[in-house]
Structure 1
Amino acid sequence: MMSMTGYAALDRDGRRWEMRSVNARCLDIRLRLPELPGLEPAARAAVAAVVARGNVTLSLRLGGGGTASRPRLDPAALEAVLATLAQIRAASEARDYTLAPDRPSDILALGGLTERDPDHDLTPEMAMADLADLTAAFAADRAREGAGLLELLTGLLDEIEALTTRAADLAEARRDHIEAGFHAALARLRDADLDGARFAHEVAALAVKADVTEELDRLRLHVAAGRDLLAVEAPIGRRLDFLAQEFNREANTLCAKANMPGMTSIGLALKTIIDRLREQVQNVE
């Protein structure tokens, strides 16, 4: 199982990569990368290879935090410029022209005197190697988070199963209570002097409202389905979310039919556990 949340960072030769993700309904990739031919599509493909769902941000900083390589002085270019400036100054003095002293910033403004530090150049080959290591670390982090989620969700399914078993046991003890209420309801129906068809319809409705066997059976089936899903090595978040909704539907019906404090208490406890299940399922890819 993979979590939709994850983080990984990679520091290598002046390059700082970061990759993080949070929950999202679909795959949303956001890139913050320097200009390099082919880097963006390669990065998107690398992310999509390890992530099926989530809001993923991938960033790269070069040269200790800037978005471009650090400049360094080109000695050969500087020597050429200084020689040219010396010729200009000599020619000016020969004509009795007075020139202001040259400032370093003025010389640098001429351009062509700096080049990128090769330690911070990024080639496509370097980028692909970095991305491979970064996405592997990112996938490992999400798998670690997923292992924790798997344990948590398994525990919640165990709690739902235990509460379902308690409800089934209580349903047996609930028979006398339900039977007494059923007979009282029948007496009220007879006193209402309903026609035969209407009377039969009302009796059938009372019987359906009293029986929780179907809800308990479906809860057991949902628990089994949940365990099967947790064993699948593939994105299961959406299916788990749908299953959590089905759990909630059965718990609501059980509460509506309870007609007994003990059964109502179990139904409410089920709803609490199911709410926790639904919350954690939102983190599953």
Structure 2
Amino acid sequence: MTRSMTAFTRQEMQQPWGTLIWELRSVNHRYLEPHFRLPESLRDIEGHLREALRHAVSRGKVEATLRFVPEKSAETLQVDSTRLHEVLAATRDVRIAGVEMQALNPLELLAWPGVLVESTLDMREVKQQALVVFRSALKDLVAGREREGLELKQLVAQRLDSIGVIVAEIQKMMPQILQAQRDNLQQKLYELATGLDAERLEQEIVLMAQKADVDEEVDRLQTHIQEVRRVLEQKGPVGRRLDFLMQELNREANTLSSKSIVAATTRNAVELKVLIEQMREQIQNIE
């Protein structure tokens, strides 16, 4: 399926521990060029992200940005009961030894090292869910590229139809054009070369007619048109192949223009070049 290299998607997941937000955008590029913007706490999953992207996309500049907004309630202060009991046991030992002590202040107990601990968020689950959301966003990005690719395919097909009409018109006109050119050349040569051998004149006429013949160019144009249609129906990346075919089509259009002997052929050659350039601009966005 023909895919565009231009797309955008945004995926969000909310959990009790926070919110994950992925934004993926891609534009055309000759190769696959990924750029990841990740929070430092999630930086170590980048390898898995690159691997998933490489399997889903083959060309394009892809920017992937992850935002992680933790819930405030996800990180709380908790009392380490074991440590608290150890501190209380130590105070009882002091009393047994006969040392007078004032009543214990709860705030002082909480200030004792190790009694009050911060409940940290389990980042393993966050990383796992970040990968899940990324794969979902990547799937949506590919679907967007496929939708736009279908539109590009239709635009290219429309211009191929127009090129086919022009090529058929040139093919239809060529016998009459060549005959008119032959008659014109023959008349001029007979007027300019009254002493020239008749057989030599005929050879010159045939040689000039051969130089103006564009049958080979027309045949190659038709072959390239068929090949473009075939490539558009292929699966997988086809952009580079299509770009090469645009160069070949343009080459034949230039040759056709250089061999032009009447205004109608020149006009058709110019129209061909315009259509080919329009296709080339669309194909620059095809994966």
TM-score with structure 2 length normalisation? 0.75
**2:180 is the alignment partner of 1:174:** no
**C-alpha spacing 1:191/1:278, structure 2 compared with 1 (3 Å):** farther
Instruction: Please give the secondary structure, in 1, of the residue aligned with 2:185.
Output: helix
Q: Equivalents in 2 of 1:53, 1:189: separation in Å? A: 62
| 1:37-63, Cα deviation, whole Å (9 max, x unpaired) | 641111111111111111111110111
Structure-2 residue corresponding to 1:59: 65
| 1:100-138, Cα deviation, whole Å (9 max, x unpaired) | xxxxxxx9xxxx9866667x9853321221122111111
Written as runs of structure 1 = structure 2, the 5 A alignment for 1:67-82 is 69=70, 74-76=76-78
Q: Equivalents in 2 of 1:211, 1:24: separation in Å? A: 40
Q: Identity of aligned pairs, percent?
A: 33
Structure-2 residue corresponding to 1:271: 273
| 1:46-105, Cα deviation, whole Å (9 max, x unpaired) | 111111111111110111xxxxx466673447xx9xxxxxxxxxxxxxxxxxxxxxxxxx
Q: Equivalents in 1 of 2:195, 2:233: separation in Å? A: 55
Instruction: Please give the secondary structure, in 2, of the residue aligned with 1:135.
Output: helix
Instruction: Please give the secondary structure, in 2, of the residue aligned with 1:216.
Output: helix
Written as runs of structure 1 = structure 2, the 5 A alignment for 1:185-204 is 186-187=189-190, 190=193
Q: CA deviation at 1:193?
A: 7.3
Let me know the Cα RMSD of the aligned residues.
3.0
Structure-1 residue corresponding to 2:55: 49
Q: CA deviation at 1:251?
A: 0.9
Give structure 1 stretches of 5+ with no counterpart.
64-68, 81-106
Q: CA deviation at 1:185?
A: 6.1
TM-score with structure 1 length normalisation? 0.76
Written as runs of structure 1 = structure 2, the 5 A alignment for 1:102-113 is none
**C-alpha spacing 1:76/1:168, structure 2 compared with 1 (3 Å):** same
Q: CA deviation at 1:180?
A: 2.6
| 1:187-210, Cα deviation, whole Å (9 max, x unpaired) | 58857979x99x96x666523321
After TM superposition, the runs of 4+ consecutive aligned structure 1 residues lying more than 4 A away are 69-73, 112-118, 184-194, 202-205
**C-alpha spacing 1:74/1:219, structure 2 compared with 1 (3 Å):** same
Instruction: Please give the secondary structure, in 1, of the residue aligned with 2:10.
Output: strand
Q: Which has the larger radius of gyration?
A: 2
| 1:221-251, Cα deviation, whole Å (9 max, x unpaired) | 0111111101101111011001011111111
Q: How many residues align?
A: 244
Structure-2 residue corresponding to 1:12: 13
**2:53 is the alignment partner of 1:28:** no
Written as runs of structure 1 = structure 2, the 5 A alignment for 1:1-285 is 1-13=2-14, 14-35=19-40, 36=42, 38-63=44-69, 69=70, 74-76=76-78, 123-184=126-187, 186-187=189-190, 190=193, 205-285=207-287
| 1:5-56, Cα deviation, whole Å (9 max, x unpaired) | 1111101121110111111111111111123364111111111111111111
Q: Equivalents in 2 of 1:254, 1:191: separation in Å? A: 33
